Chains A and B, each alone.
Chain A
């Protein structure tokens, strides 16, 4: 019986061309950053976790992070949140109550690569509301995440019955989705990775039908200050190490925890949703989960 030796996931990822710009000294991308030719006078910068990167690079860098994490995405989510992410996603879907309508719904799940939300939406519609015709379109910018989703979809009845579709789309563009065609727009743990959150909200507004619902599940700010500090220490000191042990990749998880830290708090995000034209649901437009570790923001297009 032979054992594959010296299998180093990080090194293998680099050899396969899954570049990790800025982290492991990938020479191509470092050259792009260091070369003075690439710095145009009017080039704007944005944040990639705690790093400052040119705007047009961020999308590419985020794509690489998710290609890196795709295979172990579900196991890592379970390990990092101790399984609590499942409760959040269940809550997210039940609050939306999909399929509760006389006409079949068309739901768009953006950045939904591995299908967690899509399958829950369809299960809820089918089992709770007896709806066998509502469809979910899963859109994701990353083909590796979509591949994981398609593989998981084969174990559900939805792929065969054509109730789930997987398309490669950029959340800021959504060129394959016509205006006013979607009943529910969902985005779970995806929006903080987008370069221009306001553009994603604009697109959401465009594709939704009048009366359509926008709902976003995302990490938020933990509110009791002591708990916030404990959470912060946990995120920064342990999650990258957990990434090393489970997925052989600490840098991607370092990016993920930094991007959580960077994302605006619930009230700020709620006002961004309002600025895009939505009417916020409830008092404040959001509901906090697990002391603010996550939050569900909901808006309606009136």
Chain B
């Protein structure tokens, strides 16, 4: 009985600042709880990040880390470990860039949707520090996918990007959001989503370069069509 309690409930020591070690039972609870709460209250961005954190282990984040290690840019990102914040991107500078550049399109999108790169919560529930960085980077790059593919932050836009992320990078949080998220769409939205956006996301997810290996900070001054071509991704068809 004692052995069972130890295996199932006792947790380990923290591996990096902010790390919250979880036992298997706690992890299952958090995945289920954050998935249900994320579905019930989609404005709770913290639920999706926690879902991502807790469901990435043990297999999926390691696989993504390996994909990063086998790519030259991926290795560079892992070595330098850049973080995406409004300071590191220098948003005022981005606003001065020509209209066709990725940086300018990104900052215009941020301003229009009233979001900020600073609201991403730090990774807490991933045990390995390298994998924790991969998870952090995965979350922080999300806005770039929106800007690159010209997707707004309403539910359809978010779900389309989640499908894209899942097909391209294979993390469970993408799958869970992609599979269950559409239940929140009404009939018309769901039909449109199925007809246009899922095929778009699957097609592009399969063909595109592994998105986590893109060093976004270095592509900011480039023309957006050039970036799209390099990554092998198309802008999404307009939602309306």
Give me the interface of A with B, judged by CB distance under 8 Å: 1-11, 233, 237-238, 241-242, 244-246, 248
Contacts and interface: CB of A to CB of B under 8 A. Distances in A.
B9 A237 contact: yes
A6 B119 contact: yes
Contact of A7 (B26, B45, B50): B45
B50 A5 contact: no
Interface string B201-227: 000000000000000000000000000
B47 A5 contact: no
Given A6-B120, A246-B37, A241 B30 contact: yes
Interface in B1-32: 5, 9, 11, 23, 25-26, 29-30
A9 to B, nearest CB: 6
A241 B29 contact: yes
Contact of B115 (A5, A244, A245): A5
Interface string B134-177: 00000000000000000011110010000000000000000000
B11 A237 contact: yes
Interface of B: 5, 9, 11, 23, 25-26, 29-30, 33-34, 37, 42-47, 49-50, 113, 115-116, 119-121, 152-155, 158
Contacts, number: 68
Given A1-B155, A6-B119, A245 B45 contact: no
A3 B29 contact: no
A10 B46 contact: yes
A3 B177 CA distance: 14
B158 A3 contact: yes
Contacts of B154: 1-3
B153 A3 contact: yes
Given A8-B119, A10-B46, A11-B121, 5 more contacts: A1-B154, A5-B113, A6-B116, A244-B46, A245-B37
B30 to A, nearest CB: 6
A224 to B, nearest CB: 15
Contacts of B116: 6
Contact of B121 (A3, A5, A8, A241): A8
A3 B37 contact: no
A255 to B, nearest CB: 15
B127 to A, nearest CB: 16
11 contacts: A3-B42, A5-B43, A5-B115, A5-B119, A5-B158, A7-B45, A8-B119, A237-B23, A244-B33, A244-B46, A245-B33
Given A3-B158, A5-B113, A11-B119, A248 B44 contact: yes
B3 to A, nearest CB: 14
A244 B30 contact: yes
A1 B154 CA distance: 6
Contacts of B152: 2
Given A1-B154, A4-B43, A5-B115, A245 B121 contact: no
Contacts of B155: 1, 3
A100 to B, nearest CB: 44
A4 B44 CA distance: 8
Given A233-B9, A245-B34, A9 B46 contact: yes
B42 A242 contact: no
A10 B155 CA distance: 23
Per CB-CB distance, the 3 closest pairs between chain A and chain B, nearest first, are A245-B33, A6-B119, A6-B45
A2 B116 CA distance: 16
A245 B38 CA distance: 9
Contact of B26 (A5, A237, A246): A237
Contacts of A246: 37
Nearest to B155: A3
A175 B26 CA distance: 46
A295 B45 CA distance: 39
B82 to A, nearest CB: 19
B5 A8 contact: no
Contacts of B23: 237
Nearest to B25: A237
B46 A7 contact: yes
Contacts of A244: 30, 33-34, 46, 50
A238 B26 contact: yes
Nearest to A242: B33
Contacts of A237: 9, 11, 23, 25-26
A13 to B, nearest CB: 11
Contacts of A9: 44, 46
Nearest to A249: B46
Interface centre among B25, B30, B46, B155 (most CB of A within 10 A): B46
A234 to B, nearest CB: 9
A248 B46 contact: yes
A10 B34 CA distance: 15
Contacts of A6: 45, 115-116, 119-120
